[in-house]
Amino acid sequence: MSVRSRRKPRIGLSANFFHADHSRPVFKGKTLLYLDEAMSHWIASGGALTYLVPTPPTTGTTTHDLVHDLDGLVLQGGADVCPRTYGEEPLRVEWEGDERRDRYEIELIHRFREAGKPVLGVCRGAQIINVAFGGTLYQDIATQVETDLAHRDWEPYDQNRHAIELVEGTQLAELYPGVRTAIINSVHHQSVKDIGDELVVEARSTDDGVIEALRLDDGDDAYVAAVQWHPEWMGARDEALPSAPILEDFLERARGRRS
């Protein structure tokens, strides 16, 4: 067995952005890229190494180079997806989102897919995957969807929870045999509206039907999956859906797709 075949899978994490800000007391006027420590630790719990994926410079390193050196991609949560990315204007200024990050992540999604390497989206990651495949979003669930359910509540934040229903016959349902409904956390105010090409719904909110999980079904054995909740924050609470099966499924594919 070669040294390369024995090594831990290398998983790239898409970056959150602090854009250049001349009023910031540190790194004045500089663009910063960062990750959530909990996400890195969650992936490491499955026996993988995590690497923050930078934006490629204008010369030298390319997106192709970054993808070649990694075994899979996880898209983190974070800022809103910009409505202009899917052909709409923001209904409110605070829903402008991060158009630069959108372009960066969409490029990564397509390059990892073309390389036959798995992609897992979390929260915003689920939304940008949907947009990358031609779908659209509700800019704000509270004002655009008929529901009494709070999908985001700042005070409890990741302790805000609700039930979902797993769609029978999907790969996500197969990861949880015997489970039809489950509890997940919920910290998002945008959600999938029109589903992207070749994507299938794997879970919905039981209260209002909001889409909570997606997967690519293109017939080419590509692995692109997404959940609207944050499995990295789920912990070991008995009532919550265990996060390990999602991670294990993703990392199994990453281990099998190394070139």
Domains detected in the chain: 3-256 (3.40.50.880)
Helices (H), 122-243: 124-132, 141-144, 171-175
27: left (phi over 0), alpha (psi -120 to 50) or beta: left
Residues annotated as catalytic are: 123, 230, 232
pLDDT of residue 257: 55
Segment 229-238, tens digit of pLDDT: 999 998 755 5
| Whole-structure pTM value | 0.93
Segment 9-56, tens digit of pLDDT: 999 999 999 999 999 899 999 999 999 999 999 999 999 999 999 998
CA distances from 158 to 49, 133, 235, 241 (A): 25, 28, 11, 14
CA distance 71 to 126: 19
The pLDDT-based confidence of 1 (bands split at 50, 70, 90) is: very low
CA distance 35 to 53: 10
- Lowest mean pLDDT across 116-120, 182-186, 208-212, 234-238: 234-238
